[in-house]
Structure 1
Amino acid sequence: MVVAVLVAFVSIQIVPYGRTASNPPVVNEPEWDIKATRDLAVRACFDCHSNETHYPWYSRVEPVSWWTQNHVEEGRDDLNFSEWSWEYDDVDEIAESVMEGEMPPNYYKLIPGDRNLSERERENLIRGLISTFNYSDKARQADDH
């Protein structure tokens, strides 16, 4: 049984999904209200919601890489700070996700590093995102006229 599990584990290392783990170029970022907001977003959000993902070593091991790559792709599809567009107009939903602790997800907080936000940092991020989204929206409206 142990040999079968070992053979299966080694065999799945051949499957390439997630192995590329590359970052597309940064196309467009929002006009951040202040640098501190961007810094907090980089710490807590960018690994899944930007084209600036930092892949840890274990994300190169199957099946972890499959899960990691799928999670990053879903995060980028939902909200991508590196391919910013005006379609992200539901700042209330994003702020609520951060406020209620849904974002970043609990498992992300277990990963070593400086990803965990204090309550004060979480509040600052929420205020900063609201301000950034409102500022970006005003800039878009000015460009439209």
Structure 2
Amino acid sequence: MRMLVIFIFLSLFGVKVSLAHEGERHIESQPPTLVEDASLLKAINAEYLATIKPIFRRACFDCHSTQTQYPWYHNIPGIKQWIDSDIKEARKHLDMTNDFPFQGHGSPQKDFEAIRKTIQQNTMPPFRYKMMHWDAGLTASEKEGVLKWIDDNQKKVQN
């Protein structure tokens, strides 16, 4: 039975899931484009820190920041490499380590668009992450709060 569980676990993690970002390509490790008004970004970041970061810390930081809380099975050979690869890929798409504006999409506007699309299409976290973390993801009220934050601030950073 134990071998069957290990086999199923490895099978789920062994298949590389690339559907999470649907082939979307992102600018790798480039700092975000600066919006002319630095005080505007500071104000958006202050709101992010107060209301949105706690949500993202719980639901997104394991993959989208350098503050990963690794699960007990991270040290199993093979699984460690898959997890590390997935986290590296996730940070390429969106890195929330240094607060707002994020890194990955190139501009705050594109960050907002990508996060909105992800929430609306319910594509995060990926299925294989949910298999081991059943409570992963955003609640309906968290989604509503994040979308409101995006709505309130996306207009401000549009060029």
Instruction: Give the match for residue 66 of structure 2.
Output: 51
Bigger CA radius of gyration: 1
Instruction: Give the match for residue 118 of structure 2.
Output: 97
Please say which of residues 30-39 and 58-67 is displaced more in the overlay. Answer: 30-39
C-alpha RMSD of matched pairs (Å): 3.1
Q: CA deviation digits over 1:70-96, x for unaligned, max 9?
A: 000001111101143482431112211
Instruction: Give the match for residue 75 of structure 1.
Output: 90
8 Å CA contact retained: 1:41, 1:125: no
Larger helix percent: 2
Q: Which runs of 5+ in 2 are unaligned?
A: 4-43
Flag the 1:38–1:105 CA change in 2: closer, same or farther, 3 A: same
Please list, as runs of the form range in 1=range in 2, the aligned pairs for 1:4-43 lying within 5 A after superposition.
31-34=45-48, 35-43=50-58
Q: Which runs of 5+ in 1 are unaligned?
A: 3-29
TM-score (norm 1): 0.61
* Runs of 4+ off more than 2 Å: 83-86, 106-117, 125-135
From 103, 106, 114, the counterpart of 1:87: 106
Flag the 1:39–1:103 CA change in 2: closer, same or farther, 3 A: same
8 Å CA contact retained: 1:50, 1:81: yes
8 Å CA contact retained: 1:49, 1:72: yes
Please say which of residues 93-102 and 120-129 is displaced more in the overlay. Answer: 120-129
Q: CA deviation digits over 1:87-115, x for unaligned, max 9?
A: 24311122111221101222223334753
Q: Number of paired residues? A: 111
